[in-house]
Chain A
């Protein structure tokens, strides 16, 4: 199956700093990527939908100026958490949709990035 990678897998940063998380589709082109966050013992919450070459679409309640998403190529989307606070500590998971073939177009998930803000 298709592979999606995330980097880094774990990151610790200080309050007020920014951190960038990369999501790559390794063996397919993804015109659409999705970013989720997951708090402990909870489900995945969709944060935003990222389309290659255009602005991301954010879900209600997600601050677009705080969570900057860039999808500059068909294999790479980045999520930058700006001016991070301890409450931003979470597990961030990306997924990429493979649009080849007749469908259904499955989403493949990355392994996640554990962000801890101290």
Chain B
């Protein structure tokens, strides 16, 4: 069964704007990871945040984790058309379970 729920399911923004995606999960986790998937392609690992971390940065990506609310957010700053993709959170207890994903469209 799916572990995570993401919102929004779809997000359309203009290039240069920031994009925020949220993810909620159900059970205790060791860490939470965010992945990106271009249409019909494999997954690209973006960032991992451990359960004892609250915030993590990597380039234009900022991830937060609130274990009390069982939620995480992914912020992409200064978005580019090339950021257009589906983004998934995946939480790891013993195995990696994926959320529904957010389909991000960045218009030039």
Contacts and interface: CB of A to CB of B under 8 A. Distances in A.
Interface of A: 1, 34, 36, 41-46, 49, 60, 91, 93, 95, 104, 106-112, 114
B69 interface: no
B100 interface: yes
Given A104-B31, A109-B42, A44 B95 contact: no
B2 interface: yes
Interface of B: 1-2, 30-31, 35, 40-43, 45, 48, 50, 88, 92, 95-101, 103
A19 to B, nearest CB: 18
Given A43-B88, A104-B30, A114 B40 contact: yes
A74 B22 CA distance: 36
A42 B101 CA distance: 8
A91 B40 contact: yes
A76 to B, nearest CB: 18
B45 A44 contact: no
A10 to B, nearest CB: 10
B88 A44 contact: yes
